[in-house]
Amino acid sequence: MGKRVVVVGGDAAGGSAASQARKRRPDLDVVMFERGRATSYSACGIPYWISGAVRSEAALIARTPEQHRAAGIDVRMRTEVVGIDLDRRAVHWHDLEDGGSGVEHFDELVYATGSVPMRPPVPGIDAPGVHGVQVLDDGVALRAALDGGDVRRVVVVGGGYIGLEIAEACRVRGLDVTVVDRSPTPIGTFDPDVGEFIAEAVRREGIELVLSDPVAAIGTGADGRARAVVTASGRELPADLVVLGLGVRPDVRLARGAGIPLGVSGGVAVDARMRTDVEGVWAAGDCVESRHRLSGQRIVVALGTHANKQGRVAGINIGGGYATFPGVIGTAITKICDIEAARTGLSEAEAEAAGYSFVTAVVDSTTKAGYFPGARPIRVKMLAERRSGRLLGAQIVGREESAKRIDALAICIWNEMGVDEVLSLDLSYAPPFSPVWDPVLIAARKAFDAVEADVRLL
């Protein structure tokens, strides 16, 4: 029998690590524990399954337990790892179906436990009728509740990406929806001026926004079920069902208990090869911290894209190869109602916190040549470092065919390009796709003008 690798968590990071390690070293004995009912699925797709845009739960699963097993991975479903003993090099597990328990020894361990939903410590937060949306099992429970036919009013607590996506999904189903958030504009990672555009789109869809007013309690009825959300200002919002969309935090309970070091962000501390400070212990996915390439800070970013890449890196290294994860720059994209929104790099608040001195540029344009049928409005915002003109961040908000332009700017930021270089990019042009000056180039030109004007003032 070859070296034994135990993987804790069977979603994006864990599944990728297990697959890569076994692919490179077929002699490895790989055991993967997953407490849920599915492996390697798209949690990001849950809102679209709720809305009906995605036809089935099965469509969200990239690789089933049977497919993992066919690749030689010993998958233990509905089995939760409840403890890690680093001295004995073993994990303790509990079968959630039959109640059994046991110990599995390892030579190498991959910690890929993901994240857990943020739950504010307010009265009623654990009442029946309050749903999280973190794992596929959460989506199954929420879909079943909505399909039951007894829900007319939904209150979503949290106006971030997942909160607004769930709000839209419920609105598509014909429900009355209210979103409550402590911030003055939705999705706080966007600058407020861009957030206002998102807020307008949400309201146009018929979704009520209650902003700058955090949840204070979940009111319950005589049956103990959630019946209302009470805000800090005292406002009471009736609800047949409450969804928590407050974001997530890294699930590090097992790591902390075992003595696996955590970083300043609260996630598991790893190096570029996804190694922890404990020999033979690796970590990847939503539970780890990553280096932001612009701010230099260690942050936790819960995205399936990073989880898959980090799991792949860990698996390659466990399998005898060499790979690194070079960090993140905060690229994200979403579609809320009829608006697409995307960002990359630093927002104004993040740039200030990182100590940058910068100028900004905002332009309004169209997605196609203005005279071409179907041209839609688009706004592009850029941040450029003073003096150097280095592109620090960008945000895009607009109608259909707007937001994926962010990928071009993410590449520019990744390669530390200045806005003068960006405005000279050889981007494609034809009237059905963009104006002769693409909005990205117009924004770069305006940002370059702002950099030059700032230099002249010195």
- Per residue in 34-50, pLDDT (tens digit) is 999 999 999 899 999 99
Under the banding of pLDDT at 50, 70 and 90, the label for residue 387 is: very high
Q: How many whole angstroms separate alpha carbon 316 and alpha carbon 108? A: 13
Domain end marker among 206, 223, 246: 246
- pLDDT tens column, 190-209: 999 999 989 999 999 999 99
Verify that 220 and 136 share a domain, yes or no: yes
- The pLDDT of residue 336: 87
Q: Are residues 111 and 165 in the same domain?
A: no
385 and 453 within one domain: yes
Report the amino acid identity of residue 100. G
* 128 and 177 inside one domain: yes
Work out the average pLDDT over 345-362. 97
As a three-state string, the secondary structure of 269-290 is CCCCCCECCCCCEEECCCCECE
Statement: residue 458 has pLDDT above 80: no
Categorize the per-residue pLDDT at 332 as very low, low, confident or very high, splitting at 50, 70 and 90.
very high
pTM of the model: 0.93
Residue 177 has what pLDDT? Answer: 97
β-pairing, 90-95 with 101-105? antiparallel
Q: Does 418 reside within a domain?
A: yes
Over the chain, what is the mean pLDDT? Answer: 95
Q: Indicate if the pLDDT at residue 454 is higher than 90.
A: no
Q: What pLDDT does residue 139 have?
A: 93
Query: Are both 84 and 103 inside the same structural domain?
Result: yes
The pLDDT tens digits for 225-279 are 999 999 999 999 999 999 999 889 999 999 999 999 999 999 999 999 999 999 9
Q: Are residues 259 and 401 in the same domain?
A: no
Q: How far apart are CA 369 and CA 358, in angstroms?
A: 31
Residue 376 structure tokens: 């839609």
Question: Is 60 exceeded by the pLDDT of residue 1?
Answer: no
Report yes or no on 323 lying in a domain. no
Q: How far apart are CA 298 and CA 16, in angstroms?
A: 23
In a domain, 326, yes or no: no
Could you tell me if 37 and 87 lie in one domain?
yes
Q: Supply the pLDDT for residue 247.
A: 86
Q: Which domain holds residue 219?
A: 119-246
Structure-token pair, residue 241: 């069902």
Q: Is the domain of 366 the same as that of 431?
A: yes
Rg (CA), the chain: 23
Q: How many domains does the chain have?
A: 3
Same structural domain for residues 296 and 379? no
- Using a pLDDT cut of 70, give the percent of the chain over it: 100
Rounded to an integer, the average pLDDT of 416-426 is 96
The answer to whether residue 300 is domain-embedded is yes
Q: Which structure tokens are listed for 30?
A: 């790989």
Tell whether 350 and 428 lie within a shared domain. Answer: yes
CB 153 within 8 Å of CB 243 = no
**Nearest to 179, CA basis, from 226, 218, 135, 213:** 213
Give the CATH number, domain containing residue 361. 3.30.390.30
**Strand boundaries in 112-187, DSSP class E:** 115-117, 130-132, 153-157, 176-180
Domain boundary among 246, 268, 287: 246
Q: How far is CA 170 from CA 53, 246, 370, 410, in A?
A: 12, 17, 34, 32
Residue with tokens 């919002």: 237
Select from 246, 266, 289 the last residue of a domain: 246
Is residue 279 domain-resident?
Answer: yes
Same domain for 277 and 374?
Answer: no
Q: Is residue 350 assigned to a domain?
A: yes
Of 210, 201, 156, nearest to 183 by C-alpha is 210
Sheet-wide strand order for 332-336: 332-336, 339-345, 391-398, 377-385, 358-366
β-pair partners for 237? 229
Tell me, yes or no, whether 331 lies in a domain.
no
Grade residue 295 by pLDDT with cuts at 50, 70 and 90.
very high
pLDDT reading at 168 higher than 90: yes
Q: Are residues 129 and 224 in the same domain?
A: yes
Question: Stretch 376-394: mean pLDDT, rounded?
Answer: 97
Which active-site residues does the annotation give? 44
Please work out, in degrees rounded to the nearest 5, the angle formed at the alpha carbon of residue 343 by the alpha carbons of 342 and 346. 170
Does any domain span residue 332?
no
CATH code for position 29: 3.50.50.60
How many residues make up the chain in this entry? 458
